[in-house]
Chain A
């Protein structure tokens, strides 16, 4: 337990320091959302109709932005070797790293979403719904993205390959995240059904992500 909390504390500390990735994600999220009204024009009705989708897409891209470094940084400086050798099962270490990444990079996106909702003419209820779906859905993005991050280490390719691998996996999360937000804002579907599926997707990814990532890392030992 101390091993895992040490790993989580270290990763959060690195992410929050200068040169860490935590702030970059939020800034990117802000930039994407701020650009949207310029691209779509000042049609307030259109903006509020597209708002949830824009926020979700922004959050998805922002969470991918820093994810490729999740294992790559540890691989490059040799930390991953020591983590693999240690008594802590690699699956748990992967889960701890993903949790730390979500706390440092995913949670700020959820917090920033209501503020950015103002720019998209979303009312209080709508921004609340989007923030809630993001809170439930972003862990799934991190934990499925982790599989791509582990593959990027195994295949010795960073960056773009990871995005190509991970984006298709995040389509279900995107669909049900936006569907739940839309249901809460405009109906006619009930909020509960898509939101439950979104939560289920997150729970599945929490289980599958660490095992798949650890399997990939073990297979790619060199």
Chain B
């Protein structure tokens, strides 16, 4: 357990089995991610990429196996140290861009960073006072990314993160991911396309 150097973290899964609605999605899955590394989860549609991310996030209960984070904050559970960026953006259309972001910063707690700077980093600083209902799909995605920057957490779980992002947005996102990895974070992303950073491939559900 304590063989890691201080500050180093490792997320590992052993024999993880996922059963949904009585159907086995995948079984006996082993994986390891260390600080500063990214893993791209690939597989055909329905192979369980999203399920794997939700298992790590604690949003699904594994039918078997264990997922542990070594070297993290001992006071916090694994889901509390994860950011989950799913298909749905967790934004309220009635609130403005800045209000949406500051709510999640207040609610998620922990060490927070300047929300205005995060908005600037994802290129949304001009829209801070706009209601979120006015945002395009790509802008909504950018606002979700700003949440990952405002509240720092070591593990990023990204489900198809580059959907709806334009070329400039994907480049910006690549920079954000590289910054996160350089800061000792780790990324697990479910993706079909190129992620934009160097990532080890974790194939589930057989060959595509």
Measured in the bound complex, the distance between the Cα atoms of B86 and A180 in whole Å is 49
Q: Decide: B90 and A87 in contact? CB cutoff 8 A.
A: no
From DSSP, what is the main secondary structure of chain B's interface residues? loop
Give chain A's interface residues, CB within 8 Å of chain B. 2-3, 5-7, 9-10, 13-14, 17-20, 76-79, 81-88, 221-222
Q: Decide: A77 and B91 in contact? CB cutoff 8 A.
A: yes
Known contacts A20-B94, A81-B57, A85-B58, A3 near B82 by CB under 8 Å: no
Measured in the bound complex, the distance between the Cα atoms of B99 and A221 in whole Å is 27
* 14 A–B contacts from the bound complex (CB under 8 Å): A2-B106, A3-B108, A7-B107, A17-B95, A77-B88, A78-B87, A78-B90, A81-B54, A82-B104, A84-B59, A85-B58, A86-B107, A221-B60, A222-B20
**Chain A residues positioned under 8 Å from B107 (CB to CB):** 3, 6-7, 10, 82-83, 86, 88
Known contacts A3-B109, A222-B20, A79 near B90 by CB under 8 Å: yes
**Chain A residues positioned under 8 Å from B93 (CB to CB):** 19
Q: Decide: B79 and A78 in contact? CB cutoff 8 A.
A: no
**Chain B residues positioned under 8 Å from A14 (CB to CB):** 92, 94-95
Specify which of A3, A76, A83, A222 is in contact with B60 (CB 8 Å cutoff): A222
**Chain A residues positioned under 8 Å from B91 (CB to CB):** 77
Measured in the bound complex, the distance between the Cα atoms of B110 and A20 in whole Å is 30
CB distance from B18 to the nearest CB of A (A): 12
